[in-house]
Amino acid sequence: MIEMVHVSKAYDVSPQALFDITLKVEKGKFVYLTGPSGAGKTTLLKLLYAAERPTAGEIRVTGFDVVRLKPREIPYLRRRLGVVFQGAKLLSRRTAFENVAFALEVLGAKRREVLKKTTQALHLVGLERKAQCFPSQLSAGEQQRVAIARAIVNDPLLLLADEPTGNIDPGSAEEIVKLFNEINFRGTTVVLATHNDGLPLMLPKERIVLERGRMVESSLPMPSAGD
Ligand code: ADP
């Protein structure tokens, strides 16, 4: 699902963000990417969805050679991914339903399919009764659940989440983590970045720890030579 081999990333203006990261995440895993603020978690996720390019190394995600992807090919990679950020980043003038449906409409899905999949996704996150609410009428936790519905409505192979519980109270955060567990249970590979070690680890999870751009701990099997 994910392979990084000797990946490094340096931005122009700051100290190097990632040093020589090698890891492999198999299909169906749930991986926590942890480490203090500034450790490189966001950068690592950005490399996976091709929002940044590595300075060195090889990256494969859902079968794509991300490093060699041409800009016009990036949407094909993104269609296989769902991404959730710290803030829900919803469109404020659209309802919860419309925010989720939009993710399918831009892919040219037919109306019936949009209706069916959007309803299913909102059901999964427990918000079908608030489908017609605008973001301002929803709590931060509910807004984040809409963002999760939007990320999974297209049945992604891989769900990437960057501090998804960062803006919400502990009770809602626990609900969100349960939701990620459920999504993972249904077969989607999940990588969740958080600086918060206190997040409830409800199922046995894989864990990668970054510190100042280096991988200092990992429970994942190392890729073998020739992989
Ligand atoms: P984390 O998500 O663990 O907080 P980041 O990946 O955001 O860490 O940041 C890692 C390092 O890269 C930090 O030193 C940060 O200042 C730097 N960095 C992140 N994004 C940029 C950017 N767009 N331009 C320059 N430096 C950046």
- Which range in 42-51, 171-180, 194-203 is most confidently predicted, on average pLDDT? 42-51
Does the beta carbon of 164 lie inside 6 Å of ligand 1? no
Residue 13 burial (CB count, 10 A): 5
- Ordered DSSP codes for 19-61: EEEEEEE-TT-EEEEE-STTSSHHHHHHHHTTSS--SEEEEEE
Measured in Å, residue 42 CA sits from the centre of ligand 1 at: 7
What's the rounded Cα separation, in Å, for the pair 223 and 4? Answer: 9
Give pLDDT tens digits for 33-91.
999 999 999 999 999 999 999 999 999 999 999 999 999 999 999 999 999 998 889 99
Q: Tell which residue, 7, 22, 3, 5, has the closest CA to residue 63.
A: 3
**Residue 13: what pLDDT?**
80
Residue 199 scores a pLDDT above 80: no
d(CA 224, CA 210): 21
Span 136-145, average pLDDT: 94
Q: Which of 13, 19, 42 to mutate to test the pocket of ligand 1 (most atoms within 8 A of CB)?
A: 42
Residue closest by Cα to atom 11 of ligand 1: 17
Q: How confident is the model at residue 171 (pLDDT cuts 50, 70, 90)?
A: confident
The reply to whether ligand 1 has any atom less than 6 angstroms from the CB of 39 is yes
pLDDT at 204: 61
pLDDT at 43: 97
Predicted local confidence at residue 206, as pLDDT: 87
> Is the confidence at residue 202, as pLDDT, over 70?
no
Mean pLDDT of the chain: 91
Say if ligand 1 is within 6 A of residue 43 CB: yes
Residues with Cβ within 8 Å of 172's Cβ and at least 6 positions away in sequence, in order, are 139, 140, 141, 144, 165
> What integer is the mean pLDDT of 87-111?
93
CA distance 154 to 160: 14
Of 187, 125, 195, residue with least CA distance to 156: 187
203 falls in which pLDDT band (50, 70, 90)?
low
- Mean predicted confidence (pLDDT) in 96-108: 94
Ligand 1 contact, 104 CB (< 6 A): no
Position 3 confidence tier, pLDDT thresholds 50, 70, 90: very high
Give the contacts of 111 (CB within 8 A, at least 6 positions apart): none
Pocket lining: 35 vs ligand 1, CB cutoff 6 Å: yes
- C-alpha to C-alpha distance for 81 and 102, rounded to whole angstroms: 16
Residue listed under structure tokens 């203090």: 36
Over residues 158-180, mean pLDDT: 89
Query: How large is the greatest C-alpha to C-alpha distance in the chain, in angstroms?
Result: 53
180-184 CB contacts, 8 Å cutoff, 24+ apart: 180/30, 180/148, 181/30, 182/124, 183/124, 183/148, 183/152, 183/159, 184/28, 184/30, 184/159
Helix (H) or strand (E) holding 114: helix 111-124
Closest-CA residue, ligand 1 atom 5, reads 40
Q: What is the pLDDT of residue 197?
A: 64
Confidence of residue 227 (pLDDT cuts 50, 70, 90): low
